[in-house]
Structure 1
Amino acid sequence: MTVAENRAAWLETELTRVDGQSPRDTGSAPLGKHLKMAGNPFVFLRGAAQLFYADIQAGYLQLPEALYTLPKTRIMGDCHTSNFGFFTEEGSHGERVVFAPNDFDDACVGHAVWDMARFAVSLVLCAEYCRGLSKGEFPQVPGDKDYAGKARVKADAAEKAVRRFLEGYQQRCDMLIASPDYHQQVLADFPDDHILSKPFNKARARAAGGADFLIKSALAKAVDVDAVTLRFRDRADKFQRVSADTYQQLEQTFAPYMDDTVLDIVARLDAGTGSVNMGRYYLLVGPADYQGPQDLSLCHIVEVKQQRKAAPLFYFDDLSPVNRLNPAHLTLECQRRMQRFPDLVLDEAEYDGQHWLVRSRHHAKVGLDPENVALGKKARKGGFEEYAETCGHALALAHGRGDRRSVRFEQAVTGVLPAHSEAFVQACMEYAQRVREDWTLLNQMLAREV
């Protein structure tokens, strides 16, 4: 077999192991997850976190050894440009909108350099995707805006952004060392000329009491807020009604974790990318005597999501005893450590023989797609690099909170990172090419031309 054939066979094995179906399977329809991943290399990276860690273990991604000497900390595990965003602290119970990591499904105790590298690779693929989208090289997502001809980041923006990301990460570590209340810092102020000012204001408007709470919040989008009896909207593309027996079982299992009465339950369909094939339910929670729109701020949505083993732990199972926690408990533990004020409704439970994470859906949640940070005049004029630097600050804060007793982690970063930044950048730029090649192989397995 050729090198490409060997890689394709290995890729098929890994995708089948995690997703339960081979991309070559002609006996059934392709998985929606695989079709999503085939869309472009950036989404491919998002959907296959396990490949990233397999390549680290195999030596295909060789990061500077000195960066592995940093103290282990809680890491995101699936760190990329679209796993940062805006939300309110303490979930839907809070009022302050912050910018921070927002996905912990693959979180564990591990090496900070893994998060840093995965984010850096995603920057490269994010920029390339948006440049291609503007030039008509990638298909438009049905129902999305037409991005053909839109201002796009320059060809050298990706490498500049990776460097700005590292600068932001180190700057925040320096700030944390100098500040006695380092673990209480958050990113919650974005001036009008910042790339994140628009989504920041959008998030604040969606929070309870905000101008768009009744029309744009996570609650308003999912629930018929004008109905006398509050319930989820009838949306066949997103929600599926569950049987009476399933409803009863779900309510019996998860009601003890709620902060109010369960008003309605639906199955959530086709959400996420890497976890698109995992079970997920939405529970509408609020006062049993709900009186109408005046009580909406007392209601919120709780997501109950099936968890599986964090991606890094398939290949590195001896990093820390903490990682022996069940998958949902580990996600919960890491999120609580990495956020300043985590959701008030955040727990884990067993249901149907699986481990499930219980967490609030933030009213003000605003995520960031590649188009939000790498397309448009502001992005082209340095906004993309500005976004990368901001994520560097946010990630350093999250990593630093792994140890709230000292700043030993931050001191280690400032002592090691500067001398090895160049080697780190080059390793990540080269690995982005491997992701592109794997994306092509997936499309070939699905018999799609690219």
Structure 2
Amino acid sequence: MSNPSATVLDAVTPSAGISERREIGRAARERTPRSSHGGWAPAPDRLDPVSLLEEQAESRVPELIPVRHARMRVSPFTFYRGAALLMAADLATIPSSGLTVQLCGDAHLSNFGLFGSPERRLVFDINDFDETHPGPFEWDLKRLVASFEIAGRHRGFTDAERRSLILAATRGYREHMLGASAASVLDAWYETLDAEQVQAWVRDERTAAHAGKRQVKGFDAVVAKARTKDRLKAFSKLATRVDGKLRIIADPPLIVPVEDVVGDDRTAEELEATIRELLAEYQTTLLIERHPLSEYTYVHMARKVVGVGSVGTRAWILLLTGRDDADPLFLQAKEAQASVLERFLEPSKYKTHGERVVRGQRVMQASSDIFLGWQSATGDGGLERDFYVRQLNDWKGSIDPEVMVPNGAMLYARICGETLARAHARSGDRIQIAAYLGKSSVFDEAIADFAEAYADQNEADYRAFTAAISSGRLEAAEI
């Protein structure tokens, strides 16, 4: 398999001359013309998509794999959400710009959303970094734009509406990167996008497009709902009292208490002591020396099924209390396996994949959770497993692609494109990338062409996937 990172141009430090950095970006056009990103055709020796999914399942919880398959089977879009490995394998076979950034690795439209910042502002940003890894900047953009094409087909948008939608994302990325390249270092680094700014854009878009009130009310509802999704809401849904003690409510196989998962000879006291030790070690990875976590006490833990693509990886929720039982905190410890990108690029430089996820997230996000850290622990089969830890719910909100309408989707696509550019400008050389993109629409049109062609590939892979379920090769179980 080709290694795109091997084509990266000789490194230039950020302090190098602006003109020199621009020339590197323009020179990359000679090696990989912007128009070369257009279109998609599978290689004759393309890896079998079903086999890749079977291979990926080998490291996951066996009884949860049918749940993952059932969630992916819902539509070509939900399949795409779980098929990051398939796309990484495909991107590795086509021309690369050679301009490296910290990639999200799974930058589809549902991995953007609202969450609370440490300053208690509601911000919009990328919110999933399981696959984060350094690589060519366009890999993230292609995955994002293709997700809008696939979601647009699912929603029944016309060809013209989908083309406008995906061009909005590519143009938003390019124009924002151009702006970042002209900004001062700190202005580019500090830039954030909060919910109030997005609400203002939605209202402006409504006025400019003479649209109805639906999309304004829709986003306002998302913002209002996000502010209610906090630790107290999680506590009311997930916790109860058993014999006078707080416990996480069991709902197998989606939520299974730790004592029912471990199944070994350790007593409850020994298990609790082990978890407390792990929490103490995790605390050393947090950025704040005198961290609020030190005032919380561990109460209970359970395994919880999450997401679509992540189903089958080990994810735990931990209940802690602060001043008293009315001061709860839920943490989520999510297993971090090797990024799907790593087998096609350079190996991760970090000792654990938990650290890889956290370091990547801290670079790409303008504002990160103060509970974001990592830990490793011995799990089932006696294997050492890596985890990253974060707060479970902290003003979390997202756009539901199932109710997107064309006007609102176009604005959302532009915002996602700009947000991705903002993240890449923090980790990559924004001046080189901007020089590569240029001021014309050549790159935009090429990425849009790729997205349309790759959506066809995704549909073909989805048909192969559902056929494998029908034949009994793969198992799917609704929960």
Q: Same fold (TM over 0.5)?
A: yes
Q: CA deviation at 1:116?
A: 0.3
Q: Are 1:239 and 2:267 matched, yes or no?
A: no
Structure 1 counterpart of 2:160, one-letter code: D
- Residue 300 of structure 2 contacts residue 320 of structure 2 at CA under 8 Å; is this kept in 1? no
Paired with 1:21 and 1:305, the residues of 2 have a C-alpha distance of 14
Once the two structures are superposed, residues 73-96 of structure 1 have per-residue CA deviations (whole angstroms, 9 ceiling, x without a partner) of: 111001101000000123xxx410
Q: Are 1:49 and 2:84 matched, yes or no?
A: yes
The SS at the match of 1:328 is: helix
Once the two structures are superposed, residues 193-234 of structure 1 have per-residue CA deviations (whole angstroms, 9 ceiling, x without a partner) of: 364764465445654xx6x7687x445443459x98654344
2:310 pairs with one of 267, 275, 278: 275
The SS at the match of 1:446 is: helix
2:385 matched to which residue of 1?
Answer: 354
Q: Are 1:13 and 2:51 matched, yes or no?
A: yes
2:369 matched to which residue of 1?
Answer: 343
Once the two structures are superposed, residues 118-174 of structure 1 have per-residue CA deviations (whole angstroms, 9 ceiling, x without a partner) of: 11111111112223xxxxxxxxxxxxxxxxxxxxx4443222111000111122123
Paired with 2:45 and 2:466, the residues of 1 have a C-alpha distance of 14
1:32 pairs with one of 36, 48, 67: 67
- Residue 47 of structure 1 contacts residue 273 of structure 1 at CA under 8 Å; is this kept in 2? yes
1:393 matched to which residue of 2?
Answer: 418
- Structure 2 gaps of 5+ residues are 1-41, 206-214, 260-267, 284-292, 379-383, 473-479
Q: Are 1:311 and 2:340 matched, yes or no?
A: yes
Within a 5 Å distance, the mapping from 1:116-195 to structure 2 comes to 116-131=141-156, 153-180=157-184, 181-188=187-194, 189=197, 190-191=199-200, 193=203, 195=215
The SS at the match of 2:302 is: strand
Paired with 2:46 and 2:73, the residues of 1 have a C-alpha distance of 14
1:261 matched to which residue of 2?
Answer: 296
Q: Are 1:431 and 2:454 matched, yes or no?
A: yes
Q: CA deviation at 1:18?
A: 0.7
Paired with 2:216 and 2:102, the residues of 1 have a C-alpha distance of 26
2:352 pairs with one of 326, 345, 349: 326
- Residue 204 of structure 1 contacts residue 364 of structure 1 at CA under 8 Å; is this kept in 2? no
TM-score by length of 1: 0.77
The SS at the match of 2:341 is: helix
Q: CA deviation at 1:358?
A: 1.4
1:80 pairs with one of 104, 108, 128: 108
Q: CA deviation at 1:448?
A: 6.9
- Structure 1 gaps of 5+ residues are 132-152
Q: Are 1:370 and 2:398 matched, yes or no?
A: no
- Residue 87 of structure 1 contacts residue 203 of structure 1 at CA under 8 Å; is this kept in 2? no
TM-score by length of 2: 0.73
Q: Are 1:102 and 2:130 matched, yes or no?
A: no
Count of residue pairs brought into register by the alignment: 389
Aligned-pair identity (%): 22
Quickly say closer, same or farther: Cα 1:32–1:98, change in 2 above 3 A: same
- Residue 15 of structure 1 contacts residue 21 of structure 1 at CA under 8 Å; is this kept in 2? no
Quickly say closer, same or farther: Cα 1:171–1:220, change in 2 above 3 A: farther
The alignment yields a C-alpha RMSD, in angstroms, of 3.3
